[in-house]
Structure 1
Amino acid sequence: MSKKLNDKMNVYLANQEVMYIKLHNLHWYVKGKSFFTLHAKFEELYDQAAEILDEVAERLLSLGESPIASFKKALSATAVKELDDVPVSSVDAVKILLKDVEYWIKDTKEIADLADDEGDKVTSDMFNGYLKEYQKLDWMLKSYVE
C-alpha cells in the first residue's frame, strides 16, 4: 500500500469517526414535523458509520498499516465540521448531512480509484460499495429538500 492510499484511508476513517458523533447529534437534536422519520434515519446512518469504521480500520490493519484510533488524532485529520449541541430543524439537518454526503462521494471515489490504480481490488471494491450507498443517500436527501 502506498503512503498516499494509507493517508487517504486514515483521513476517511477520521471523517467517519467524527461523523459517527455528528450523526448522533443530528439524531438527538433534530426538531420538526419529520422528527420521527429523520430520528430513525440518523440512527440507521450512525449504525452504518460504525460498521464502516470497523471495516476500514480492519482493512488497514490487514494491510500492515495503523488506523487512526484516537479521537484526538481523528479531530486533527478530519474534514468534517462538528455541530453545536443545539436543536436543528428537519430541513437544516438534511442540508447539513447532504453537504457531508457530497464530500463522502468525492472522497470515496478518490480512494476507490487510487486503490484500483495500485491493483488493490479488495479495497477498491470495498469503497465502490460505500460509493453506491452514498450516491443513493445523496439522491434521497436531495429529494427531501427539493
Structure 2
Amino acid sequence: MTKTNPAETASVHAALNLQLANWSVLYAKLQQYHWLVKGPHFFTLHAKFQELYEDAAARVDELAERVLATGGRPLATMREFLDAATLEEGSGDESAIEMVLNVASDYRTLAQELGHAIADAEHAGDGVTADLLLGIRESIEKHAWMLEAFASA
C-alpha cells in the first residue's frame, strides 16, 4: 500500500475491518442455517450453506491478512465483530426460504459496503486492496442473484 496520509490509511483499515466483522457474523449465520435448515429443500440448502460458510471463512482470513499486510490491526474477537458489524445474526427460527432471502440480503448489503470500501482504497492509492474487494463484490453479487432466483421459484 502506498503510504499516503494516515487518515486515508485508517479509512481503508476501517473498511476492511467492517468487512471482516460482517463476514464473521455471516459465517456464524451460514453455519447456523446449515445446521437448522428443514423442509423439502433440505439437501440442496444444507450443501449450499456449507459451501457459503466455507467461502465466508476464507474471506475472513483474506480480509484479516490484508489488514495486517497494510499495517493495521484486524478485529479478532466475537465482541469486536458483533460491535462493528452491520449484519445481524440469524434467529434460528427462519424458514428455509427466509434463510435464503436473509443471506441474499446480507450479500446485497456487503456489496454496497464494498463499493464504499473500494472507493476508499482507490482514494488511498491502494490498488491491491481495491482489486481484492472488487473480486469479493463480483462473487457475492452472483451469489445474491442465484439465491434470489432460488427463492422466487
Q: TM-score range by the shorter chain?
A: over 0.9
Q: What's 1:75 paired with?
A: 82
CA-CA distance at 1:89 after TM superposition: 2.1
Q: What's 2:12 paired with?
A: 5
CA-CA distance at 1:138 after TM superposition: 1.4
Residue type of the alignment partner of 1:24: Q
Matched, 1:30 2:30: no
Deviations 1:12-41 (A, max 9, x none): 101111111111111111111111111111
Q: What's 1:117 paired with?
A: 123
CA-CA distance at 1:80 after TM superposition: 1.3
Moved over 6 A (4+): none
CA distance in 1: counterparts of 2:80 and 2:99, whole angstroms:
26
Matched, 1:126 2:125: no
Specify every segment of 5 or more residues in structure 2 that has no aligned partner in the other structure, as ranges: 1-7
Q: What's 2:4 paired with?
A: none
Aligned residues: 145
Q: RMSD between aligned alpha carbons?
A: 1.2
CA distance in 2: counterparts of 1:27 and 1:8, whole angstroms:
28
CA contact 2:15–2:117 (8 Å) conserved in 1: yes
Q: What's 2:96 paired with?
A: 90
Residue type of the alignment partner of 1:105: A
Q: What's 2:54 paired with?
A: 47
CA-CA distance at 1:84 after TM superposition: 2.5
Percent identical pairs in the alignment equals 36
